[in-house]
Each structure stands twice: as C-alpha cells, then as structure tokens.
Amino acid sequence: MPSQDALPVSLRSRWGRSPFSLQKLRQRLQQWPQWQGAMGMVLASLTLSTVVAGANQSGLLEGVERLVYDQMMRLRHSGSQWMGNELPLDDRILIVTVTESDLDQIGEFPLTDQTVAQTITQLQRHDPAVIGLDMYRAIPKPPGREALLQAFEAGNVIAITKLADHHHPAIPPPEGVPPEQISFNDVVVDGDGVIRRSLIIGSETARDGSSQVLFAFSLQLALHYLSAQGIEPENNATNPDYLQLGPTSFVRLQPGSGGYGRTDAGGYQVMLDYRHPIAPAHQVTLSEILNDQVDPSWIEGKIILIGPTAPSLKDLFYTPFTGAGVEETHKMPGVVIHAQMVSQVLDAATGDRALLWTSTPWQEWGWIGLWALLAGSLAWRFRNPVGLGITQTGLIFLLGITSFGLFLLRSWVPVAAPALAMVGTSSVVVASQAQQLARQRQMMLFLLGQNTSPEVANALWENRDRLLKSGQLPGQSAVATMLFTDIRGFSSLAEQYPPEVLLDWLNEYLSTMADAIQTHHGIINKFTGDGLLAVFGVPIIRHSHGEIAQDAAAAVACALDMATRLDRFNHRRQLQKLPELQMRVGIFTGAVVVGSLGGQTRMEYGVIGDSVNIASRLESVDKARQSSDCRILIGHDSEGIWPQIRSQFQVEDWGALTLKGREQTVAVYEVLGAKPPSPAPPSATPGPPIPKPLRS
C-alpha cells in the first residue's frame, strides 16, 4: 500500500494519474482562447452590420430614419434659438402671398390675368432683381391676358410649368414666354407626405420625343440673382456631372444615400436644408403690393416670389417641422418652400451655408459596422448584466450625440440602422458567450463529476476568471471533516493477483465508495491507491457550529453507508470465489486550508492542515484491533459537534490515544452504528371506553 506519511496532501491518482487536476482543467478551459472570442465578436459585428446595412438599403428602415431626421432638424432649430445663433431672415428674398383676405378684398377666385399683371407691374416700379410667379397661367383668365403676356416680356419674370409624372399630365407655361424664363415648380414628396428633398434640375419630354432640360423654379430665380454677382453655373472639375456654383459643388443625391433606401432619386436632387421652420424671408400680402404699402427697399434688387398661401387654394405641404406642436409649422405653403430652396442655393453659391451632405451606401456600411464592432466589443468585455446594460445604453446615447453633431455640421448619416446593429450584435455576442460558458461549465462538470461533488465545480466556476488568469485558486480557512479510508491487507492481496485483475476490482471498489461519498455531499479530494480522502464542508465554507456538526454527521453516516456497500461488494466477491475485503475509516473534524497547490505547470486542489494528518492516523491506528469488516474511528477538536454525534450514532470510547508523529493525545471513538429513532410520544387521545361487566 502506498505510504500516507507524505502530508499535507494534494490530489494524486491511483497509479500516478490525476483524475482531478487544475492544470488539466485550465488547459481544457483555454481551448476557447481570448483571440477566438475576439474573432467571433468581430465576425458577429461584420455579419450583423452587413445584414442591417442591406435592410437599410432595401428601405425597411427608411421610415424610422426619416423620423429621426425630422427630429434632428427640429432640435437644430431649437438649439439655434436657445444659443442665439439662429439664421436671420434672408433679406435677399421677399415673398408676396395670396391670402384668404386678399381673395375676399379683390373678389376674385382664381385671380384674373389683369390682377396678376398689375401686381408684376407694381413690383417692377421698384426694380427687383427677378420676379417668380408661382401660379399656373397656361389657361387665360380674363380680363387682362394681353397685359399679363406683356408683363412676361421683361426678362426678369419667371413663369412655371409642371412636369408630367405617372399620375398627372404636364401643365404648360403661358404661351409666348421665352424658354429661358420657364421653370418647373414640382416638389419631391416622401412616402409620408413630407418634403425633405429639392429637385433642382429635371427633364421634360416633348411631343416629338425630344427631351428638354429644365431648371427648377428656385434654381432659376437664384441663377438670375447670382448672375448679377458674376456667379454662373459650371460643371464641377472633378465630376462634370455635378453642378458647380461658386465654391460649392451640388453633389447629386444617390439612391440609398443617408437614411433613404428605395426612395426614387431620379432627376438632380439635393437635400433641402430649411432656413426657418415658418418662413425664410419677409412676407407681404398681394393687397399690400397693389396698394403700394410695402417699403421699396424690400423690393429693390431682391428676389420676389408670388404665390398662394390661402388654404382654399390647397398649396400646402408637410415639412420636417410638422408635428412639433406649433400650429404655424403644421403645413408650409408651396411658395414658402420654394423660398427655402432659393435661400439654400444662394447660401451655397456664396459659401455662407454648406449643403447637407449624405453618406453613400459603402460609407453607411462602414458607419454601421463601426458601431456594431463597438457594441460587440463592450458585450464581449462586460459579462455582468448591469455593466453591460450601462455600457450599451451609453453607447446608444453616444451614437445619438455623434450623429446629431454631424448633422449640425451639415452631414446626415443613418441613426436607426447602427442602433439596430448595436443591439443585434451585443445580443449575438451575449448569446454566444452564454453558450460558450454553458459548454465550459458542462465540460467542467464532466471533468469533475466522477471524482467530486458539484459543489467543487461550482466553486471553481465562480472563480474561473482568476483561475484562468493566474492558474490559482485563493486559499480559504475552514473547519471541515476529513474521511480517510484504506483496505486492510492490500499489500498481501497485491502479491497474489496480477495488476490488471487488481485494477479491475479496485476500480469497482473505489467507484462504490465514491458513490457513497457523493450521496452524502462530500467531495473526493484524492485517491491513494487502495484508499481515498474525502472532505465534508468544502468548498462552501461552513461558519456555525450547527453547520460544522451537520458535516461531521454526514461523514459518519457516509462511513456507515460505506460499510453497507462493502457488505454487498463482498457478497459479490464470494460468488466469484474471491477473498473478502476489510477496510478502515478515520474521521476527524478540525481546521484546514483549501485551495490550489503547485505552479504554472502543475496545479492541484489541495486540503492541508494538521486535521488531515489526524484523520490519516486515525485510520491506521492499532490496525490489529478490528471487530468488523469496516472499522470506523472518529476524533474531534470541536466540542460543539460532539453532542450531535452522540445523539445520532452509537459509539465506543477508545480513550485518549497518542497517534503516530504527534505529542498531544486525541479522544478516539469507534462508531458501532446509527441509533434507532426515538419512539413517538404516547398519544393524548383517549382510547375507547372499557366495557363494564354485566351485572346479574
């Protein structure tokens, strides 16, 4: 039999192999190294960002992105008001409105050609730069047709036409107006009815099949005004397909740009950057012009737009400011929207205000991928649910701040798409980590399950980060109960049987004893060839006397269970005509330290302390004194546990013995068996009445 003198003990196997080695456990756990987790996180981020970018390009997120765009437009205006840097009204523009009051005063609906011609003539008296008439005048509305056509003979009056579309035919301009004074007033309306884009150049197909390029009403007015300042439209030097005005290149809106997906980007479109949520310039009424009640300085050298604002004329549109809780911003008249466009073109051509830049599909994929990668990294780093929730919330807040900051710099990038990618990526990473941890936990239980109880696996699992980092578990002081077993006369048996036969029945014996230990919630700390050391009370440290006494009682009950199992084991050996076995058990309760032993190349879960030595000595004391197949000796150094042992088990006092290698004596008792349960107290319920004898 191998010597048991080499204590303190650590895990050693029967025949030299460790069934429970922390080094082996560490190596197994590190089969999922950090770089593999990082690569999985990167792969999840790229996959989710690609999927979300594809969904964004297909238009699935377009509605949400447009709502975010509107909110940022409102916030920018509110912030400008609060900070005092709101853009002033554009004094280069004057809007002449046709209101309900004007229609009532003049008594015309619609306005006659004579009234329109009179308005233009009155404005021309004060030398405006250009006059734009945002009214269709293809059909004569007498009287005054000749006067209206004569008013158009001035080169600074712009008429409008409407381009044909899938639902409506084209509306021609007034007859006889030169082509250079004709523009279209079509506006681009998104699917939710909101105008966020500006169509500045379009084309019209004539009856003969030829195509004619037309400038938008707003662009035509701006070009007339800019020509006096020496700014003419040019082709961009880098991309000849782009319009260049002054220092600004009007980059054409591409399909899938910004938050748009399937939205039609036909024609030459740019994002409409509203100067003001109500009106970008001063407004006067038609009646005020006709009655000469307007300051001439508001007209001289200015861009004049004439158009209806009366609700009855139904030329009202939704804008990003609709729904902001302000009645004035619910709908914006078409002529005011054209004034917004004119102001934007003028600012861009003079370098005062940049155009709104929109991201391209490839830029959006990188933008979405960046945020997905950040979210995946945080989810991979923070396993704690609270920490993960805080970091993910902070990251989404950072996305909103960054996107709005870019919007203030005239850049529109998707917001909903990267937010969705972040949530999806973090969810996938967390789910992957949970699955990986479940596999690691299952692997750990598999490695430990045959040799110890699940408590050790749970303790190691709770300390897995420290274990994988340093390869060590911290030492813990505890009061535990040690149980040592050994087979009597094993050396003689080993001489009689070949090793392979000896190994077979020894494995069967140890497996039987291990089942008993696990049944009584102990852990197998080591096998010593033909014996073992089990510990009760670790790794979950006990603190009260009651808990320590329960562990001691469980160890004694386990030893009695071993005796019963040994009887069944010997019965099977008798049938096989093999010699019966006898075993000795030593049990002692005392102070120990539990933790990992060894270095980086060899680590084992050890139990050290004088209490381990005492349990070993109890098992081997006075080997000849054995009255049964399983001798069980117990000792203790805690008076708090002894009453519970005496109340549950029958013991025989061996007195105070001096054990090998020790100077102090130990009180030793032999366990004879479990005490029978106490009889139930007599019932207080009265029994049936005793019948009285019959009287003669």
CATH number at residue 499: 3.30.70.1230
Number of domains in the chain: 3
Cβ atoms of residues 132 and 220 within 8 Å: yes
The values of phi and psi at residue 79, to 5°, are: -65, -35
Residue 18's pLDDT band, with cuts at 50, 70 and 90, is very low
Residue 69 makes CB contacts below 8 A (sequence gap 6+) with: 196, 258, 259, 320, 412
HEC per residue, 592-639: EEEEEEECCCCEEEEEECHHHHHHHHHHHCCCCCCCCCEEEEEEECCC
Q: Say if residue 289 is in the same domain as residue 169.
A: yes
Q: Say if residue 382 is in the same domain as residue 417.
A: yes
Average pLDDT on 608-627 reads 89
Q: Say if residue 282 is in the same domain as residue 407.
A: no
Q: Is the pTM above the cut of 0.85?
A: no
Q: Say if residue 175 is in the same domain as residue 38.
A: no
Last residue of a domain, one of 441, 468, 499: 441
112/205 Cα distance (integer angstroms)? 30
The amino acid occupying position 96 is V
Q: Find the domain containing 617 and state its range.
A: 14-20+453-674
Residue 29 lies in a domain: no
Q: Say if residue 347 is in the same domain as residue 369.
A: no
Residue 641's pLDDT band, with cuts at 50, 70 and 90, is confident
Cα–Cα distances in Å, from 686 out to 241, 680, 689, 691?
112, 16, 8, 14
Q: Say if residue 434 is in the same domain as residue 576.
A: no
Q: Say if residue 49 is in the same domain as residue 137.
A: no
The values of phi and psi at residue 684, to 5°, are: -85, -5
In this structure, of 182-186, 313-317, 574-578, 670-674, the range with the lowest mean pLDDT score is 574-578
Element (H, E) at 83: helix 62-83
Q: Say if residue 410 is in the same domain as residue 513.
A: no
Residue 564's pLDDT band, with cuts at 50, 70 and 90, is very high
Q: What is the pLDDT of residue 409?
A: 93
Residue 238 lies in a domain: no
The values of phi and psi at residue 358, to 5°, are: -120, 145
Cα–Cα distances in Å, from 566 out to 373, 509, 628?
61, 8, 11
Q: Say if residue 389 is in the same domain as residue 475.
A: no
Summarize pLDDT for 181-240 with one digit per residue, the tens: 999 999 999 999 999 999 999 987 666 666 788 999 999 999 999 999 999 999 999 999
Q: What percent of the chain has pLDDT over 90?
A: 50
Summarize pLDDT for 106-148 with one digit per residue, the tens: 999 889 999 999 999 999 999 999 999 999 999 999 999 999 9
Residue 479 makes CB contacts below 8 A (sequence gap 6+) with: 537, 542, 548, 589, 590, 591, 592, 638
Cα–Cα distances in Å, from 346 out to 221, 291, 636, 696?
10, 30, 97, 137
Res. 598: pLDDT tops 50:
yes
Element (H, E) at 361: helix 361-381
Q: Say if residue 421 is in the same domain as residue 461.
A: no
Q: Say if residue 666 is in the same domain as residue 535.
A: yes
Q: Say if residue 376 is in the same domain as residue 498.
A: no
Residue 27 lies in a domain: no
Residue 50 lies in a domain: yes
